[in-house]
């Protein structure tokens, strides 16, 4: 996740990237194009310890110096790889990576320092292109193909559980580790590593970390029933984790074998590459397996044998592959129990006494008890949520801050939530969606599990089209595979770069007040405000209002999409880099198969469509709870001014028509800022 680092400037109230060049203005024509703006390195100490090695070392360059920058970056990369193998960050001098376009003051010819900067997490276009040429997943797979020499069986097998495979059922690496442990006649041990530094750098929300810990506590009980201990380690410095695991944890457990499920983000792939290499140096066999997705990256290609970046043809190929090779939907057996003698083994018995912490420092969650009701932990609860979605009718009160498993759900096959999903997915005034996204993102339930249940509704056939509710929902599940495939194939998207570089220099506004109003749900646009307040309360939004609120930030407020991407990750309980980045880049018209830039959501129209009764707005925006009809969607224009003022609700912070014209100009004339009056 690109990290947006706040850098305060007491003389400025703006926010976004710091431009290195003046912004050209024009009233009509594109004029001369503007090259990329850059962020400047601040005075923060130990920045290298907080930012990713390659991203920190990406050389800032103008085009005429590109060759020198590439050579310098190559040298630094080699040093960084050597250091990362030791688990230590590189500390050589360098420059912060390239930023993106930022609109300065009209007509300004001077450099402008902004209150907030996107610093140290946006790679240069050159470095992003280089990462795409040889994706890290390909590097890891080549490393695995070389194989590992025979190693001793050791005293235990270790399965390293990650944040995205928090389940016992249908867990590939867990099953394989258990199978091997049984073959060798030695116990299986589960390892989980907590890393506050990693959570911070990747913008994890306190709600997500709380959800992870609650699920770990649920798993601990189930593992203990199988005589399997779970060992919890904690390392703040994430780059040290491979070395600590290989040289400290595994030797302490007498382990010579480590099994993991692959994660496809750049940082996580680097970690696994380092772990495999260190393992081979230390005589430890590290096995990395595909598990997160239904179809692993690299399995779906065009007729020309190339990776696909447009969803519709990709999705048809995905569905065809599953039809022709149904083994991709096969689920792994659960692990077998360890011999009960492990509990009297002096080396391992104390592992059963280890506790799962109540919280992680810096990620305390005061609303944990309420969230436990709204997002109950455990695979059993996830299965119950799935069953409700597939077999019961939607209920309008269930969009509220309440348990999704409340009593009173009425069973129905013809009128179930999934049967009505074609229309229900665009409505927010009820529990029309599955609400499984937090469970899928954390691996509490696997995508294979949910698709196999969907198959049962259609006599064992997996529907995957827009003609039925089930088919539409299966398509929505496939988006998760798609965005992970994109991230694994084009790592640039997890390096802060737009997939479409032609939009790298779109000029963004620098308005801290507007950003804060959006975060707080105080924009004067009720559907946006309702969604943002729901986000803050429960860490989740329905998909339709995610798109509406994201479009408002990017196209109406003209604020950098990466600011929104960061805030959603910091807020959502279902935060997932691939899906979050894919959604934001779609909205910003910068991603793979994006929404065309000239399609700009009309916030009022979207509000009337997705919340036709206004119930969602009235619940989440109590200032408007007594309004009826169209006034609840647009109180400022539908009510007399004196009556509107009594509501205590803000006026719209931006004019839709003017903001639309501004967005169209900036996307058509990348690198330029229009002349004329402000739109707010």
Query: Which residues carry a binding-site annotation for FAD?
Result: 421, 433-437, 473, 476-483, 574-576
Element (H, E) at 661: helix 656-668
What whole-number distance in Å separates Cα of residue 624 and Cα of residue 632?
Answer: 6
What whole-number distance in Å separates Cα of residue 329 and Cα of residue 654?
Answer: 48
Q: How many CB atoms lie within 10 A of CB 577?
A: 25
DSSP string, 89-101: -------PPB---
What whole-number distance in Å separates Cα of residue 91 and Cα of residue 139?
Answer: 25
Q: What's the token pair of residue 238?
A: 């994430």
Q: What's the token pair of residue 382?
A: 């996830």
* CA distances to 355, 410, 620 from 400, in Å: 33, 18, 8
Reading across the β-sheet that carries 285-289, which strands appear in turn? 230-234, 188-194, 156-161, 255-261, 285-289
Element (H, E) at 26: strand 24-26
What whole-number distance in Å separates Cα of residue 168 and Cα of residue 188?
Answer: 13
User: Binding site: which residues?
Assistant: 421, 433-437, 473, 476-483, 574-576
Which has the closest alpha carbon to 171: 209, 219, 137, 206?
219
What whole-number distance in Å separates Cα of residue 519 and Cα of residue 514?
Answer: 9
Q: Contact 370/401 with Cβ under 8 angstroms?
A: yes
Chain position carrying tokens 């196999």 = 452
Chain position carrying tokens 């491979």 = 242
DSSP string, 106-160: TT--S----SB---S----HHHHHHHHHS-HHHHHHHHHHT--------SEEEEE
Q: Contact 492/129 with Cβ under 8 angstroms?
A: yes
H helix intervals, 298-446? 311-324, 368-374, 379-391, 421-424, 437-441
- What letter would DSSP give residue 36? P
């Amino acid at each position: 996740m690109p990290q947006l680092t706040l850098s305060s400037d007491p003389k400025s109230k703006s926010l976004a990237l710091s431009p290195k060049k003046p912004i050209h203005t024009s009233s009509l024509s594109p004029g001369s194009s503007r090259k990329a703006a850059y962020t400047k390195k601040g005075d923060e100490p130990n920045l290298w310890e907080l930012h990713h090695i390659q991203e920190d070392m990406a050389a800032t360059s103008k085009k005429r110096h590109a060759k020198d920058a590439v050579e310098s970056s190559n040298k630094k990369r080699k040093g960084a790889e050597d250091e990362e193998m030791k688990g230590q960050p590189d500390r050589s001098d360098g420059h912060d990576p390239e930023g993106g376009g930022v609109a300065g003051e009209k007509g300004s010819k001077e450099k402008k320092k902004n209150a907030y900067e996107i610093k140290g997490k946006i790679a240069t276009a050159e470095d992003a292109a280089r990462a795409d040429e040889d994706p890290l997943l390909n590097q890891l797979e080549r490393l695995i193909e070389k194989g590992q020499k025979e190693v001793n069986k050791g005293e235990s097998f270790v399965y390293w559980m990650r944040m995205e495979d928090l389940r016992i059922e249908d867990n590939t690496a867990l099953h394989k580790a258990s199978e091997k442990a049984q073959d060798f006649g030695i116990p299986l041990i589960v390892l989980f590593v907590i890393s506050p530094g990693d959570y911070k750098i990747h913008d994890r929300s306190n709600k997500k970390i709380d959800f992870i810990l609650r699920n770990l506590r649920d798993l601990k009980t189930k593992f203990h029933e199988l005589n399997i201990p779970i060992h919890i380690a904690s390392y703040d410095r994430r780059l040290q984790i491979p070395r600590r695991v290989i040289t400290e944890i595994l030797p302490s457990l007498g382990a010579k074998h480590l099994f993991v499920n692959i994660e496809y983000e750049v940082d996580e792939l680097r970690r696994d590459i380092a772990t495999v290499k260190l393992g081979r140096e230390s005589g430890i066999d590290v096995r990395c397996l595909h598990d997160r997705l239904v179809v692993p990256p690299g399995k779906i290609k065009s007729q020309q044998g190339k990776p696909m970046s447009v969803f519709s043809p990709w999705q048809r190929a995905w569905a065809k592959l599953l039809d022709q090779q149904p083994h991709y939907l096969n689920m792994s057996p659960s692990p077998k129990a360890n011999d009960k003698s492990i509990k009297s083994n002096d080396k391992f018995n104390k592992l059963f006494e280890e506790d799962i912490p109540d919280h992680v420092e810096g990620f305390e969650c005061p609303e944990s008890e309420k969230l436990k009701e709204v997002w109950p932990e455990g695979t059993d609860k996830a299965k119950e949520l799935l069953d409700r979605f597939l077999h019961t009718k939607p209920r309008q009160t269930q969009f509220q801050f309440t348990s999704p498993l409340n009593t009173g759900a009425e069973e129905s096959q013809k009128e179930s939530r999934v049967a009505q999903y074609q229309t229900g997915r665009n409505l927010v005034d009820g529990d029309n969606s599955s609400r499984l996204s937090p469970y899928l993102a954390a691996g509490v339930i696997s995508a294979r599990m949910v698709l196999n249940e969907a198959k049962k509704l259609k006599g064992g056939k997996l529907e995957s089209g827009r003609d039925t509710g089930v088919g539409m929902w299966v398509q929505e599940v496939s988006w998760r595979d798609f965005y992970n495939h994109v991230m694994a194939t084009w790592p640039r998207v997890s390096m802060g770069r737009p997939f479409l570089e032609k939009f790298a220099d779109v000029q963004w506004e620098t308005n801290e007040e507007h950003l804060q109003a959006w975060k707080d749900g105080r924009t004067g646009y009720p559907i946006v405000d309702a969604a943002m307040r729901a986000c803050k309360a429960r860490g989740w939004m329905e998909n339709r209002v995610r798109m509406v609120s994201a479009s408002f930030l990017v196209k109406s407020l003209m604020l950098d999409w990466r600011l929104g991407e960061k805030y959603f990750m910091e807020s959502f309980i279902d935060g997932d880099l691939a899906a979050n980045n894919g959604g934001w880049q779609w909205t910003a018209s910068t991603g793979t198969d994006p929404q065309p830039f000239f399609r700009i959501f009309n916030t009022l129209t979207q509000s009337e469509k997705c919340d036709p009764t206004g119930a969602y707005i009235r619940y989440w925006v109590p200032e408007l709870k007594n309004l009826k009809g169209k006034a609840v969607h647009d109180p400022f224009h539908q009510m007399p001014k004196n009556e509107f003022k009594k509501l205590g609700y803000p006026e719209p912070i931006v004019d839709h028509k003017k903001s639309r014209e501004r967005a169209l100009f900036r996307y058509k004339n990348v690198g330029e800022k229009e002349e004329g009056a402000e739109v707010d």
